[in-house]
Amino acid sequence: MEELLQGDLSPGRNFEQLTNMSGVYSVRLGRNYRFVFGVTAGSAYPIAVGPHDQAYADATRRYRRRRS
């Protein structure tokens, strides 16, 4: 998390924008854990954290619910 806040992420952290989810990003915390967060108007907010597949599934569900 410190790397993320400082803007100094190593390439192994796999920081990426999630496909088909505007303003939603993911970063690797450990071998199988992801932190998914959104960015709106310059502010970040957490969406999901957990094992890879579960974090992405939770993020997708919350994103869809937010858009409806």
Q: What integer pLDDT is reported at residue 38 of this predicted model? A: 92
* pTM of the full structure: 0.84
Return d(Cα 11, Cα 56) in angstroms, integer: 20
Please give the single-letter amino acid code of residue 40. Answer: T
Q: Are 52 and 34 in contact (CB under 8 A)?
A: yes
Q: What integer pLDDT is reported at residue 42 of this predicted model? A: 81
Mean pLDDT by 10 residues, the chain (68 residues): 78 90 92 93 91 95 82
- CA 44, 52, 12, 64 dihedral sign is negative
